[in-house]
Amino acid sequence: MRFTRLKLSCWRNFPSAQVTLGERALIFGPNGAGKSNLLDALRFLSEVASPGGGLWNAAQRRDPRTLPSMQGSGGDVKVEVEAEIGGEAWGYGLAFQVDKQGVPRVRAEMVRQGRRKLLRRPEAEDRREPGRLAQTHLEQSSTGGAFEPLLEGLRSVRSVAGPLAAGGFTRALLATPRRPRETRMRRVLELLRGALPRLDRWSLDHDEQGVPRFALRMDRGRLATWHPEGLLSASTMHLLHLLWEASDERGPLLLEEPERGLHPELVGQLLALLKGVAPRAGRQLLICTHAERLLDDSDVAPSEILLLHPSAEGTRVESAAEDTQVRSVAAEEGPIGPLIAARTGASVEGQIPLFFGGTP
């Protein structure tokens, strides 16, 4: 699945926003502008559609103060997406409010497949039984059949925000069947050797207590040394995790400040690494970032860059393709990073090297 359009109303600090999304989107803006909030709208729909999720749980995971309808403003929170699933266009829209008891209530819900509308709520049954509006149609037990591609597409959204917990990468590997795991790790290590020239191989075995353990071997022969996950630097594991997730064939991947902890020179290569490790069909990457160095990759087009402009009335979203100067510099193959940083106040100070004291 690939999202092609996102439309928001009364979503956190976005009173209104509509953006077009391609295979890749880089979201720039100053602190507090709502970069993470923009991606969170997609994460929200994924949680609504996922088993064990649903509208109530998804709303409860978010601070009520960030949703205007929870503050009694009377405006519906609306999240609408268009997506391409299996070569076909789909649309899904959800509008809701939270009542005084803290229960979210569906105000409107829509599903479209191609030009055919499969669902438009409230329906007659909703009017007869208002309690039904405490759930979206996606999470009700009767859902399935024609809605399955949309459900599976929304559930396929993955998100990486911050470092993995201890042992997290080992668990991620174990959750993947052996053959696709080996195929993906082969692609990951081929690219990782560019940052780790001494890297030889990887392993997933068990220690003396039978606990599964991931490790990397550095060098060969007498110099060979195994480094288990717990002894690898946080920055090494972060890069490894990013490449591992990008190598998956599932749906859109949401990345929040993937540059954190990486050396600036590596940040400038990160988009190429993520693209290089992606499966043949590619994977949609939606990235919020402060790092103008990501734009060192000359492959980035202005249409892939979203600029957030906060104000007292809320945050406005603009495509960099609408900026005449950015388009002009890009057309001449000049560096657009400094221009984007000047437009949004983005900066990436305080980064740390990829490795500490030569330790991988």
pLDDT digits (tens, 9 = 90+) for 156-190: 999 998 888 888 999 999 999 999 999 999 999 99
One domain for residues 153 and 201:
no
The residue among 296, 275, 263 whose CA lies nearest residue 195 is 263
Regarding pTM above 0.75, the answer is yes
Q: Give the domain-ending residue among 249, 274, 290.
A: 249
One domain for residues 37 and 126:
yes
**CATH code at 84?**
3.40.50.300
Other beta carbons less than 10 A from residue 239's beta carbon: 24
pLDDT-above-70 percentage for the chain: 91
Residue 201 has pLDDT above 70, yes or no: yes
One domain for residues 262 and 352:
yes
Domain hosting 242: range is 165-249
- pLDDT for 346 equals 57
Please report how the helices 234-246 and 264-277 are oriented relative to each other, as an axis angle in degrees rounded to 10: 30
**Per the structure block, which two tokens stand in for 291?**
């790092």
Q: Give the domain-ending residue among 249, 277, 306.
A: 249
Other beta carbons less than 10 A from residue 220's beta carbon: 10
Residue 334 has pLDDT above 90, yes or no: no
Residue 37 has pLDDT above 50, yes or no: yes
One domain for residues 14 and 120:
yes
Per residue, the 3-state secondary structure of the chain, as one string, reads CEEEEEEEEEECCEEEEEEECCCEEEEECCCCCCHHHHHHHHHHHHHHHCCCCHHHHHHHCCCHHHCHHHHCCCCCEEEEEEEEECCEEEEEEEEEEECCCCCEEEEEEEEEECCEEEEEECCHHHHHCHHHHHCCHHHCCCCCHHHHHHHHHHHCCEEEECCCCCCHHHHHHHCCCHHHHHHHHHHHHHHHCCCCCCEEEEEEEECCCCCEEEEEEECCHHHCEEEEHHHCCHHHHHHHHHHHHHCCCCCCEEEECCCCCCCHHHHHHHHHHHHHHCCCCCCCEEEEECCHHHHHCCCCCHHHEEEEEEECCEEEEEEHHHCHHHHHHHHCCCCCHHHHHHHHCCCCCCCCCCCECCEC
- CB of 286 within 8 A of CB of 5? no
Report how far apart the first and last C-alpha atoms of the chain are (Å, whole number). Answer: 35
Question: CA–CA separation, 71 vs 63, rounded Å?
Answer: 11
- CB of 268 within 8 A of CB of 297? yes
**Per the structure block, which two tokens stand in for 275?**
């693209």
| Least confident among 100-109, 137-146, 256-265 | 137-146
The number of domains in the chain is 2
One domain for residues 244 and 98:
no
One domain for residues 120 and 185:
no
Q: Give the domain-ending residue among 249, 266, 299.
A: 249
Average pLDDT over residues 70-91: 84
| Least confident among 229-238, 287-296, 317-326, 349-358 | 349-358
One domain for residues 145 and 280:
yes
Question: CA–CA separation, 354 vs 351, rounded Å?
Answer: 9
One domain for residues 149 and 278:
yes
- pLDDT for 142 equals 59
pLDDT digits (tens, 9 = 90+) for 205-226: 887 788 899 999 999 988 999 9
One domain for residues 130 and 260:
yes
One domain for residues 257 and 182:
no
One domain for residues 276 and 314:
yes
pLDDT-above-90 percentage for the chain: 64
pLDDT tier for residue 71 given thresholds of 50, 70 and 90 = very low
Residue 314 has pLDDT above 50, yes or no: yes
75 versus 215: the higher-pLDDT residue is 215
One domain for residues 135 and 200:
no
